[in-house]
A = this chain, B = another copy of it.
């Protein structure tokens, strides 16, 4: 289970993929496979959470890494790059946002 709070030792990647709705299933499947087969074993991986929009036009990956250095190393890892290229080909665009949680409120 993934948790969100203002832990300063976690960075967040929110990657917003736009996709032709007819390719949404394919994009979800390849991001899931990239995560479970390769990315989840890399140093600094904390979590990846794949979301499908109601209209199938958008896939959001909400991912957490221990550090920006580990995230950058993942992007440059030869085992990961074919997965990233495949996602870039299936998606129409992607927009990775590197951020920090500055506020969290949850119903208790």
Contacts and interface: CB of A to CB of B under 8 A. Distances in A.
Interface of A: 1-5, 12, 14, 16, 28, 31-32, 35-36, 40, 45-54, 58, 60, 62, 68, 95, 97-107
Contacts of A68: 54
Determine the main DSSP class of A at the interface with B: strand
Contacts of A99: 51-54, 58, 60
Contact of A103 (B1, B4, B35): B35
Nearest to A47: B106
13 contacts: A3-B4, A4-B4, A14-B51, A16-B95, A16-B97, A28-B102, A45-B107, A46-B107, A48-B103, A51-B102, A53-B99, A54-B98, A58-B97
Given A40-B105, A105-B35, A100 B51 contact: yes
The 10 A-B pairs with the shortest beta carbon distances in the complex, nearest first, are A51-B99, A2-B4, A50-B103, A47-B106, A32-B103, A53-B99, A49-B104, A4-B49, A2-B106, A52-B102
